[in-house]
Structure 1
Amino acid sequence: MSQSTMTKPGVVSRKIPPVRGGHFLLGSMPDIQRGPLDFFMSTARQYGDFVRFRFFLWDAYLVSDPASIKHVLQENNRNYNKQHVDYQMLKPLVGEGLLTSDGSEWLSQRRLIQPAFHKQRIQGFATVMTTAAEEMLDRWQRRVDPTQPLDITSEMMRITLSIAGKTLFSQDIRAEAGTVSKAFTILSEDISTRLRSPFAIPLSIPTPRNRRFHAAKQMLDEVVDEIILSRRQELASGSTAHSNDLLTMLLTARDEDTGEGMDDALVRDEVSTLLLAGHETTANTLSWTWYLLSENPAIRQRLQRELKDVLGGRMPTMDDLPDLSYTRKVIQEAMRLYPPAWIVSRKAVQEDEIGGYHIPANAVIEMCTYVVHRHPKYWENPDIFDPERFDPERSAARPAFAYFPFGGGPRLCIGRDFAMIEAQLLLAAVASRFSLELKPGHPVEPEPYVTLRPRYGLPMYLSRI
């Protein structure tokens, strides 16, 4: 395996990595537009773990070596930021929130939000999660025509959005869940298209596509603004009903130097970021999990045996999770094959040396989770769904950054524990009551938007266990 070295004055290495050729003007842009996942997978297979390519005018490096990824995200993370086009293009969706901010601004936001995600606090959310699951299961039972398939992706989006609203902001947004999910989908699709083309028409020009984008953003902003206004009015009245939730933390935070609070625009950015990250990633993880279980009935049966042995037909609780080890492995393996955060990007502040290769200042480093999670050097039969990969004896020798569904280093996903607990509880609640089968003949293809979604949805038939 290649070795990484820290940045130091006067980097001497000038070793150049393999270069993937492309169009004389556009570079690899046409290939990426045709299919980002295919592009990154084929590039890594053909050229190796460290490859330079060009996207229009910008040089970028595809890095698939865990040691080099660790160098960028953890060991020398101060030399790599998010100030490049991938994250700048997200700002029309989530503004200056935790996902897109950098430096001291990011650090202050992280410190403010971190207490809401302490493990003890998250454990208190378990009842909210299982109550939402019970309500969803009851609704499934009462369906007018149970012979029709159910779009499981939409169902997972709906329940995780409801949970995010209730746990983080003490808001019942079930009535708005459809509106918010639709808005996020439109915005994510548009931004993903723009990320693949430097020639996209600016949002300021009122084309039909741009008007659709702005209408979706307005729908989202109206929901978020109402949440913020309602809480400001509650706080102004002297109420302490929700004094400890994340929304109140955001609204009552004060700058240490000026004493000023956050303006509504920044609060909106944070709420939008956390609503997006707090529901879409887990919803996609669960959607892919249901698909994989449908395709692998023996694994589904083993999962259901564990759930029957541990739960005996009741709803899961936090106390059950240590005994649901196979349930956790099923989630981990689903995130290996279909990581919601399918790519992580950084920009070099100063020149560096990674794995013996020279990296110039301002170079973009692309670390494709989807590629690394299917790397045959670290995963035997990488395309096969095998939860037992995560048995301790099989995981012990695996490099840490051969698996990084939540990123790594100081910018490790703030909601990692929240997401894992939520995914395990929802999987256990549903799989102990229902088996889900994909509609025969339905095409399944991962679509790399902001997160990795099933392109055509996942219509599934439900059968009661």
Structure 2
Amino acid sequence: MPKDVFDLPAPSANSIVGHLFELGQDPLGFLTRCRDYGDIVPLQLGLTSSCLLTNPEYIEEVLKNRNDFIKSRGLRALKSLLGEGLLSAEGESWFWQRRLAQPVFHQKRINVYSEIMVEYTNRMVQTWHDGETHDIHEDMMRLTLLIVMKCIFSADVDAGEAKVVANALDVAMQWFESKRRQNFLVWEWFPRPENIRYRDAIAEMNEAIYKLIQERRNSGEKTNDLLTMLMEAKDEETLQQMDDKLLRDEVATLMLAGHETTANTLSWTWMLLAQNPEVREKLESELNQVLQGKLPTLEDLGKLVYTQQIIKESMRLYPPVPLMGREAAVDTQIGDYEIPQGMAIMISQWVMHRHPKYFNNPEVFQPERWTQEFEKQLPKGVYIPFGDGPRICIGKGFAQMEAALLLATIAQRFQIDLVPGYPIVPQPSITLRPVNGLKVQIKQMPIKTQVQ
């Protein structure tokens, strides 16, 4: 006989808004405290019944079952930005798109973008000077956007179009955060200032994307970029291809997921390295030994073991996506518990990645923990920076390669220190970004000569 999830222990709630106030004020802290209540923690968010999962087996159960557990109402609210792209599509539509796009993101195909990643990063650091103060988050956002647009569209997208896209994505993040605080109870079409800004930004972004798609169709040019591969992708059974609307949706999704998450990962990595000089010294030692002053290549990644451990540990402490939401599409079960249709399911990477049951000294930045043996014994559903199950992030390989190459390119040339006293506040929205940016001072490293 299934058990009632609402009989489980839970934090005390306000009789009118439930747990909405605590979640809105301090989502990461509140959800971390909820972990102490058990494997499933029932919560009431206004009129919405919800629960937080802290048992990795339950998390895997939900992530594997894409039919019973669909994307959350919050993410569905972003359809005006992402349309029916892979992040927001459901059911057969999602399955068809995923099957079509999967070969595009095969590791062998995306490996060709490693040179673009290093070239653009090197171009950026050539403009840096010793002693300058930077907002490193802003730098990483600009760099990763230029890289992903180059990988999608092949040609260097002009500064105006890049600015339009960057503005639209930034406005979308701010809009999503304001809606989250209101539990998505304020309709998007309502003529509030933030809604108008959001719609205007999307209209400008759409114009830029459709223009680039049309130019490609008119030119008939065959390139090795993501747009060409998506345009040429064909269903083997029906021979159906993506139309311009679906291409636009996939491009918008790639631009959001393909630059925001990597930029945030790198921003938090620079912060953690500045706070842990012994780790930074060990990184510099590896870079000197492996690269010997030259720019990193795809072939170097296998030898940059510690560099990649740093990225994994950074994504553990500051996961690119701190909270995933699902909704029960039907009456169903998780473990032995009844889950009614419409119930919101919360899975928090922030909570699981810092769980003392699975990580020794969970609050400590310790890249050395990421040995092959450690990863093998870690239960599925604990470390999920890219999600899991059939909807695991299709760009996982791209993001991991990009983060490691960018880190190696910059760290062998510059030491990045935090500006003392500058407030660093993580903002858990769609992604985890520093709300005030990240002010740093850059210090040029002595140039190492390449060993012939």
TM-score, with normalisation over the residues of structure 2? 0.93
SS at match of 1:124: helix
Q: CA deviation at 1:49?
A: 2.9
Indicate conservation of the 8 Å contact 2:231/2:247, yes or no.
yes
Whether the aligned pair in 1 keeps the contact of 2:148 and 2:255 (CA below 8 Å) is yes
Unaligned residue ranges in structure 2 (runs of 5+) = 446-452
**Equivalent of residue 54 in structure 1, options 23, 38, 44:** 44
Checking the alignment, whether the CA contact within 8 Å between 1:113 and 1:246 is kept in structure 2 is: no
Which residue type is aligned with residue 109 of structure 1? Answer: Q
**Contact 2:271–2:418 (Cα < 8 Å) also in 1:** yes
Residue 163 of structure 2, aligned match among 159, 169, 178: 178
Aligned to 1:277: 257
Aligned partner letter, 1:192? E
Q: Which residue of 2 aligns with 1:26?
A: 17
Q: Which secondary structure does the structure 1 equivalent of 2:362 belong to?
A: coil
In structure 1, the residue corresponding to 2:127 is in which secondary structure?
helix
Q: Is 2:147 the partner of 1:163?
A: yes
Displacement, 1:412? Answer: 0.8
2:184 matched to 1:196? Answer: no
Match of 2:211 among 226, 232, 237: 226
SS at match of 2:86: coil
> Contact between 2:274 and 2:416, CA under 8 Å: does it hold in 1?
yes
Shift in alpha-carbon separation, 1:32–1:139, aligned structure 2, 3 A: same
1:76-115 alignment runs, 5 A limit: 76-82=65-71, 84-115=72-103
1:339 is matched with 319
How far, CA to CA, are the matches of 1:447 and 1:406 in structure 2? 18
Matches within 5 A, 1:28-47: 28-45=19-36, 47=37
Please report how far the alpha carbon of residue 257 of structure 1 lies from its aligned counterpart in structure 2 after TM superposition.
8.0
Provide the identity percentage: 42
Q: Does the CA contact (< 8 Å) of 2:140 and 2:266 recur in 1?
A: yes
Cα displacement (A) at 1:460: 0.9
Map of 1:64-463 to 2, 5 A cutoff? 64-74=54-64, 76-82=65-71, 84-141=72-129, 146-173=130-157, 175=159, 176-198=161-183, 200-235=185-220, 239-240=221-222, 242=223, 244-253=224-233, 261-463=241-443
Using the alignment, how far apart are the partners of 1:125 and 1:256 within structure 2?
Answer: 26
CA distance in 1, matches of 2:184, 2:208: 32
Cα pair 1:331 1:423 within 8 Å, conserved: yes
Instruction: Please tell me whether the aligned partners of residues 13 and 353 of structure 1 are also in contact (alpha carbons under 8 angstroms).
Output: no
CA-based RMSD of the aligned residues comes to: 2.0
Report if aligned partners of 1:310, 1:324 keep a CA contact under 8 Å in 2.
yes
- d(CA) in 1 for partners of 2:188, 2:53: 32
Shift of 1:174: 5.5
Q: Aligned to 2:280, what secondary structure does the other structure show?
A: helix
Pair 1:279–1:58, CA change in 2 (3 A): same
Whether the 8 Å CA contact 2:10–2:34 is kept in 1: the answer is no
Q: Note if contact 1:171-1:227 (Cα within 8 Å) is conserved in structure 2.
A: no
| 1:364 to 1:287, Cα distance in 2 relative to 1, 3 A | same
Amino acid at match of 1:79: D
CA distance in 1, matches of 2:27, 2:49: 16
Shift of 1:408: 0.3
Which amino acid in the other structure matches residue 311 of structure 2? I
Match of 2:448 in 1: none
* Kept after mapping to 1: 8 A contact 2:332/2:341: yes
Tell me the alpha carbon deviations over residues 272-308 of structure 1, each in whole angstroms, 9 at most, x when there is no partner. 0111111111010001000100111110000000000
Whole-Å separation in 2 of the counterparts to 1:88 and 1:301: 44
* AA aligned opposite 2:283: L
Q: Distance in 2 between matches of 1:350 and 1:221?
A: 35
What residue identity is the alignment partner of 1:413? Answer: C
Cα contact 1:162–1:174 (8 A) shared by 2: no
Aligned residues: 443
Cα 1:257–1:313 change in 2 (3 A) is: closer
SS of equivalent residue, structure 1 residue 125: helix
Tell me the distance in 2 between the aligned counterparts of 1:400 and 1:388: 20
Q: 1:323 to 1:261 in 2, by over 3 A?
A: closer
8 Å contact from structure 1 (residues 116, 245) kept in 2: no
The 1:378/1:255 distance shift into structure 2, 3 A limit, reads closer
The amino acid across from 1:100 in the alignment is S
**Structure 1: gaps (5+ residues):** 1-10
| Secondary structure of residue in 2 paired with 1:341 | coil
TM-superposed CA distance for 1:381, in Å, is: 1.3
In 2, the alpha carbon distance for the partners of 1:212 and 1:25 equals 31
Of the structure 1 ranges 146-155 and 170-179, higher mean CA displacement relative to structure 2 is found in: 170-179
Q: Can you list the C-alpha shifts for 1:208-252, whole angstroms capped at 9, x where unaligned?
A: 2222212222232222122112112112xxx33x2x433124334
Cα gap change, 1:412/1:261 in structure 2, threshold over 3 Å: closer, same or farther? closer
